[in-house]
Amino acid sequence: MASEKIFVTGASGDIGRKVVYALLEKKIPVTVYVRDVQKSKELFKDNELVSVVEGDYDNLDNLEKAMPGHTRLFLMCADLPRMPIIKPAIASIAYKAGVKQIVDLSSRFTMFPWRTSVIGEAHRLAEERVYALALEHNANFVALRPSRFFTNHLWADIKMIKEQNTLFDTQDADAPIEWVSTDDIAEVGAHVLSDAIENHANFAYPLISDSVTHAQRAEIFSKALGRTIEYKQVPPAQRYRILQGVGLPAPMAYDLSTVDTCLPPTTVVNILLNRPNKTLEDWVVAHKDHFSA
């Protein structure tokens, strides 16, 4: 992979840094685009394979100057309202600079009906616009579409687990719910970025690591924490207020109170990485200290 050089946006976040770590294990040079240079140095320890570019999404001048010479781009952006503008702007710079493949962190919510999910709509519009640019430049565009993150528990559920020993959601206790590991997301992303481009064409990979019922989820937390955690089904309106109470913006709180995520685990990890998906139970056990009462 000596001829490869990969540009990574969002490199200091959970998924972005894991993508960088995985690429560095493959000895692939990486350029990270970050707001906080000092944080990036702490994360990547002045690794000689890492180049740092300081910048944000308000001014892409530094990104544009640094992009020539890169072969691929890992693209992520957490700014939902501006995502359909920011991602195509970065993609346009990348493709014009000669980047041959963009791997985009999108969302499983793009698969919901048109304009019924604010999360899905932002990602869908961004996907469509970047894909059009890829076709225009005879390049490739791969989208990763993860479902609900395991790590959502650290902000959406932690308060109720610690204070009330209860998980709240809108579905029946026996309804299977999708979850995804950020490790699975990052490792698939790094694999695609380092594999032959033609092996992934212009795929969109849905990523669901585990599917467990709410009753099973409560059992997992109970076993890991050594105390009884119950599941309580609540109306969407109550779930909406709970999510707003932990700081989620109203549109996203509405999304997560109304969407139906009940598909089985996907086979992407098994096919591409030749290993099983990560499980929610393993994640809870590894992070149980966060949920101590």
Say if residue 289's pLDDT is above 90.
yes
Indicate if the pLDDT at residue 213 is higher than 60: yes
State mean pLDDT over 182-197.
98
Band (15; pLDDT cuts 50, 70, 90): very high
CA 192-183-276 angle, to 5 degrees, is 80
Contacts of 25 (CB under 8 A, 6+ apart): none
Q: Which pLDDT band holds residue 46 (cuts at 50, 70, 90)?
A: confident
Q: Is the pLDDT of residue 290 over 70?
A: yes
Q: How much is the pLDDT for 2?
A: 53
Cβ(70)–Cβ(80) under 8 Å? no
Residue range 89-95: mean pLDDT, rounded: 98
The 10s digit of each residue's pLDDT in 235-256 is 999 999 999 999 999 999 999 9
Give the confidence band of 293 by pLDDT, cuts at 50, 70, 90: confident
Percent of the chain with pLDDT over 70: 99
As a whole number, mean pLDDT of residues 48-66 equals 96
> Structure tokens of 105?
């962190």
pLDDT band of 45, cuts 50, 70, 90: confident
Structure tokens at 32: 């990270």
Chain segment 104-145, per-residue pLDDT in tens: 999 999 999 999 999 999 999 999 999 999 999 999 999 999
Among 27, 93, 101, residue whose Cα is nearest residue 66: 93
Query: Within the chain, what is the greatest distance between any pair of CA atoms?
Result: 57
Tokens of 225: 């924490």
* pLDDT number for residue 271: 98
**Distance between CA atoms of 240 and 248, rounded to whole angstroms?**
9
Q: Is the pLDDT of residue 41 over 90?
A: no
The pLDDT, as a whole number, for residue 3 is 86
